[in-house]
A and B are shown apart, each in its own frame.
Chain A
Amino acid sequence: MTQALLQLKDVSSGYKASLVLRKLSLSVASGEAVAVLGKNGMGKSTLLKTIMGYLPKASGAVHVGGLDITRHGPHRVARAGIAYAAQEHALFTELSIRDNLRLALAKESAFDERFSEIESVFPVFKTRLKQFAGTLSGGEQKMLLVARALMMRPAIMLLDEITEGLQPSVIERLAEALLGERKKRGTTMLLIEQNVPFALKVSDRFLILKQGEIVDEGSAKAATAVQRIFDHLRV
């Protein structure tokens, strides 16, 4: 394994007085994809929000490459090369699909080239670029979130339940696209999923989060992975 690109050390965070993450340490190597699994309310989304700087850290430190981003707000974290597909309410509903995607880029001139690469993954957007994002169906909005993150060509992608509400064939295409992205650009990924087969297909390693702590981890490709994960999710 190469050096860690994303590193969390003893990170605690939460809402007001109640801590959701408790001294969580995690290191994701460059080019690695890690699936974060666990029951609801265990701190999975909180983990991503904390990395992004939407939630302040009560303690601990977060590093990207050599850069300390512990105290950075979301805009600076994004500039460090992290793209975040949030679970909900993260689109500009009054802007067109194109403008939503365009906002992921620094320059207008890059749009056509970047879009041509993702349009085969999301053929629905090709003819509808001028439509307002708010008029898309729930599943299509979800796709647009992922499309926007892909457009950024980030070093690290944080993906929060991106398969939620998507039809099976799209989920399949999405898995191929993420794998392709990893192969082509060596993108590092941290993904939260309820769809375990999808998560294992895309990632190298899985983590189980319980009460804000990592209680188990293992190779996503191990034959016993599925059984181990379901044992954790059941209890």
Chain B
Amino acid sequence: MADVHTATLQTAPAPARQGPAKARGLLLLGLAGIALIAFGPWIFGTYLLNILIKAFFFAIVAVTVDMLWGYTGYLTFGQSAFFGLGAYAAGLVFTHAGFSISTALAALGLAIAGTALVGALVGWLSFYRGASPFFATVISLVLPIVLTQLLLSGGAWTGSSSGLTGYETFDLPLEAWYWIAGTALALVALLGWLIVRSDAGRVLTAIRDNESRCTYLGIRTSQVKIILLSATAVVAGLAGFGYGSFSGVVAPELSGFVLGTEFIIWVALGGRGTLWGPLLGAVLISVVSAYLSSSMPFAWQLVLGCAFVFVIVLLPQGLVPLLLRPLHRSGPGAFEPALIERIARPQTGRPAAAPALVLQGVAKHYGHLKVLQGIDLAAEEGQLVGLIGPNGAGKTTLMRCMSDGAERTAGGVNLCGHDIRTLPPEECVRFGLGRKFQNANIFDTLTVAACLRIAGTILERPSLFTRSPTLALPSYALEVVRTTGLAGKLSAVAKDLSHGEQQALELAMVLALEPKVVLLDEPTAGLTKTERTQIGRILSSLALHHGLCCLLVEHDLDFVQEIATRIVVLHQGLIVMQGSFEEVVHSDLVKTIYAGSAHAAPEAA
């Protein structure tokens, strides 16, 4: 980051936390895990080793389910399909082509390529633009059902309902399999842990919290989810490959939705969104089930079911958060980066002399209801246009039409020389748009620092494995963060902030994007008069000194008067007036439809 000069604003030392205690606790857990994997063969009997090896392969899939569901919010029943694909890649190749080094490699390649391909396809189907989360979950349920049907109808080739058995496979002792499966699980867990803690990993949580906000920060959420699904599909496929190679038996149940549902139960029981929880949940339940099913073959599922109900009712967060509570007193948000200033990037790829924002004949109809009609509007850089009008005049709808190509019914919108056609918000944002919503639109479960970092995702690609110790923001975003006191609350969780602080946070997030055109829907709602004045000063300097084009919806006319360079009046979906503040606000039209008596006589205010 050569273009960042280090003006650290936070000079006070970070308050003392229980970070070291927590780190020590995790270290101990990790060491215990490694010790179990290393010395397991001398501790456990043959029977238990067998069960543990299988449990480890299942636990790998449970970790991927947690990444998808716990962190990204995508409830999936379909990870078993990828597990089954991997297992059958081994089973089919070894049965029909025999076992050798080359066929083993071919089977491995098949497992990887097949799961990646199916994962990408399912991802595309599930997350294409506009699809609801419910639809994605239904697709995830269909996948294992279809795959199981295919396996059942494969006749002798897939072994139908009895599956494939007795094929030749790797000739390894049980201990070696134990080490392989254990190491694979440890590596997957470590990798997953690094990713979800990293700056890029926060984007997954952001998608879960508020996908719409992500798209308005320019993040291509569909793409992120498709890549994630493909990657976790490959991991689940490799686990399946390991399982198939180890057990020498593959059956259609391995790809069924029952197993897919069991993964979800393990994740929920262990503790969704913790990685540790699903891992331990999968291993423990697999082992306990194996013992119970032999000692009480008829009652064990009842016992397991009761345990499940018990945990869901009494410990909705799952078991692991309860066990780890002593270590978690400081909460997950204790990490606090230092604020530094980011020098604005030079403008590139911008056709010279194109106005920042041009609307031609924009209209929006909901059936017969005409919300907007024939809106023509142009705004240059350095202008701050105040958009006023009665409640329900169509102001917010107009902003939506400027920021999402699919919204308007007719007309054209041009952002910084780019026609937005029917492009989604994330592409409009990449043309230089920033949109502040009417209600604070932030990431509820993330910290202030994480929210701000995610806002800069398209400018500074976040690391997939580490957390940056600094948080770079453009000067004007820094000013918002400092004036509103957010700088002292970087590790606070966004949903615990007051309403006004949330508004300020969203404004700072939008500015962190370094937009060229900023749409501000009541940016000062819920702020005190003093804070309004401060934000007003920042906004007018955005236009005057930083050359941004700002469009501002606001009802506080005194506030608009102070900062707007031009006023546009919207009434019943039409622009009825444009001009300077004096011309507009003291006109009879505006007094009648909008301002009321307070502004009829300015001194009365």
Contacts and interface: CB of A to CB of B under 8 A. Distances in A.
Given A140-B392, A161-B499, A172 B528 contact: no
Given A137-B392, A168-B555, A39 B594 contact: no
Contacts of B500: 39-41, 194
Given A40-B500, A88-B439, A138-B438, A167 B528 contact: no
A94 B542 CA distance: 39
A172 B530 contact: no
Given A169-B595, A172-B597, A194-B528, A41 B498 contact: yes
B522 interface: yes
B527 interface: yes
A139 B527 contact: no
Secondary structure of the A side of the interface? helix
Contacts of B438: 138, 165
B395 A137 contact: yes
Nearest to A160: B499
A164 B440 CA distance: 13
Contacts of A44: 498
Interface string A108-135: 0000000000000000100000000001
A172 B598 contact: yes
Contacts of B522: 138, 164-165
Contacts, number: 106
Given A41-B497, A169-B594, A124 B557 contact: no
A54 interface: no
Contact of B366 (A135, A171, A197): A135
Interface in A124-182: 124, 135-140, 142-143, 161, 164-173
A183 interface: no
B396 interface: yes
Contacts of B501: 40-41
B467 interface: no
Chain B residues touching A, range: 35 or more
Contacts of A19: none
Interface string B484-522: 110000000000111111000000000000000000011
B498 A136 contact: no
A96 interface: no
Nearest to A196: B529
Q: Which of B500, B522, B595 lies at the interface centre, i.e. has the most chain A CB atoms within 10 A of its CB? A: B500
9 contacts: A42-B498, A137-B391, A137-B393, A139-B555, A140-B392, A166-B391, A168-B594, A194-B500, A194-B526
Given A138-B438, A169-B390, 19 more contacts: A39-B500, A41-B497, A42-B498, A87-B499, A124-B392, A137-B393, A161-B499, A161-B526, A167-B388, A167-B389, A167-B390, A167-B391, A167-B555, A168-B598, A169-B594, A171-B596, A172-B596, A172-B598, A230-B529
Interface of A: 15, 18, 39-42, 44-45, 87-89, 124, 135-140, 142-143, 161, 164-173, 194, 196-197, 230, 233-234
